[in-house]
């Protein structure tokens, strides 16, 4: 029994070290993201010309609804990272067409999911930027949705893909305390990066929340691929 407890404590300690290491390594890139989000929020409320542009985006989002969410997130989460990967490999493809289609479709569905999350929270807590509303939405988003479903449902498909879409290999990797080992380090990084970003997202009207999330996520993908260098053994996350 004592051996099992020590092993469990070791998993927790290693997961915390990985998460904290990734968070420390990515403070500066995360700060850049927060400035982008803050600029969008201040621009919307204080710069008339920028507000007009953003309202046109909001009109487009309202017109296309869930189709906007599906396409925008598929591009940001699926197409952009894989396109950058090809550029980094100087035009060489190191993934199959099936891999590409899988993640484009996956992120499209995720976009619909996130849009429905934002809509549901607007119905539940209100579509305003009052402090209490922002607090309720952020807590529900980052401390309920993200740890229970949001992050695990993103990480598991990537782990499956890394296993060559082999269920046997996937099950072998997911043995034991997989949540502590796979999800917890990313969750720590998510709290550091995305809690401030989510607050800024919820400062905007509902129709602009997903577009800003798309922009922040796209920049985060670019930062993680070109700039951020997590510490050895640390986990990084390109989306939440």
pLDDT over 70 (residue 12)? no
% of the chain at pLDDT higher than 90: 55
User: Phi and psi dihedrals of 115, rounded to 5?
Assistant: -60, -45
Cα–Cα distances (Å) from 97 to 14, 80, 94, 107, 154, in that order, read 35, 15, 10, 16, 20
Q: What does the pLDDT read at residue 150?
A: 93
Task: Decide: helix, strand or coil at residue 228.
Answer: coil
240 within some domain: no
21 within some domain: yes
106 within some domain: yes
How many other C-beta atoms are found inside a 10 Å radius of the C-beta of residue 101? 11
Q: What angle do CA 200, 201, 204 make, to 5 degrees?
A: 95
Range with the largest mean pLDDT of 19-23, 153-157, 230-234:
153-157
238 within some domain: no
pLDDT tens readout for residues 57-69: 999 999 999 999 9
pLDDT over 90 (residue 90)? no
pLDDT tens readout for residues 114-164: 999 999 999 999 999 999 999 999 999 999 999 999 999 998 998 998 888
User: Confidence class of residue 4 from pLDDT cuts 50, 70 and 90?
Assistant: very low
Helix, strand, coil fractions of the chain, as percent rounded to 5: 85, 0, 15
Is the Cβ–Cβ distance between 210 and 61 less than 8 Å?
Answer: yes
237 within some domain: no
pLDDT over 60 (residue 228)? no
19 within some domain: yes
pLDDT tens readout for residues 92-115: 888 889 999 999 999 999 999 999
In which domain, by residue range, is 47 found? 2-226
Of 116-120, 122-126, 190-194, 224-228, minimum mean pLDDT range? 224-228
Q: E strands along 21-104, which residues? A: none
Number of domains comprising the chain: 1
pLDDT over 90 (residue 50)? yes
> How large is the average pLDDT for residues 78-90?
87
User: Confidence class of residue 2 from pLDDT cuts 50, 70 and 90?
Assistant: very low
pLDDT over 90 (residue 41)? yes
User: Confidence class of residue 181 from pLDDT cuts 50, 70 and 90?
Assistant: confident
Q: What angle do CA 83, 187, 39 make, to 5 degrees?
A: 65
Mark 38-57 as b/e (b = at least 16 C-beta within 10 Å).
Answer: eebbeebeeeeeeeeebeeb
123 within some domain: yes
How many other C-beta atoms are found inside a 10 Å radius of the C-beta of residue 95? 14
Q: What does the pLDDT read at residue 234?
A: 41
User: Phi and psi dihedrals of 230, rounded to 5?
Assistant: -60, 155
User: Confidence class of residue 226 from pLDDT cuts 50, 70 and 90?
Assistant: low
């Amino acid at each position: 029994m004592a051996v099992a407890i020590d092993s469990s404590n070791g998993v927790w300690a290693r997961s915390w070290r990985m998460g904290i290491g990734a968070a420390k390594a990515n403070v500066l890139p995360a700060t850049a993201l927060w400035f982008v989000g803050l600029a969008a929020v201040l621009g919307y409320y204080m710069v008339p010309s920028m507000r007009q542009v953003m309202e046109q985006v909001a009109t487009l989002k309202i017109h296309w609804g869930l189709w906007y969410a599906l396409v925008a997130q598929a591009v940001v989460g699926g197409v952009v990272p894989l396109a950058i990967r090809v550029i980094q490999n100087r035009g060489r493809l190191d993934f199959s067409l099936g891999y590409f289609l899988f993640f484009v479709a996956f992120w499209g569905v995720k976009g619909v999911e996130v849009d429905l999350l934002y809509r549901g929270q607007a119905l539940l807590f209100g579509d305003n930027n009052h402090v209490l509303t922002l607090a309720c939405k952020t807590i529900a988003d980052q401390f309920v949705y993200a740890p229970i479903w949001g992050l695990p449902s993103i990480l598991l498909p990537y782990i499956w893909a890394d296993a060559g879409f082999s269920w046997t290999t996937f099950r072998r990797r997911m043995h034991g305390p997989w949540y502590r080992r796979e999800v917890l380090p990313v969750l720590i990084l998510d709290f550091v990066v995305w809690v401030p970003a989510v607050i800024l997202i919820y400062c905007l009207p509902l129709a602009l929340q997903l577009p800003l999330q798309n922009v922040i996520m796209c920049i985060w993908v670019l930062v993680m691929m070109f700039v951020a260098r997590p510490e050895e053994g640390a986990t990084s996350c390109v989306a939440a």
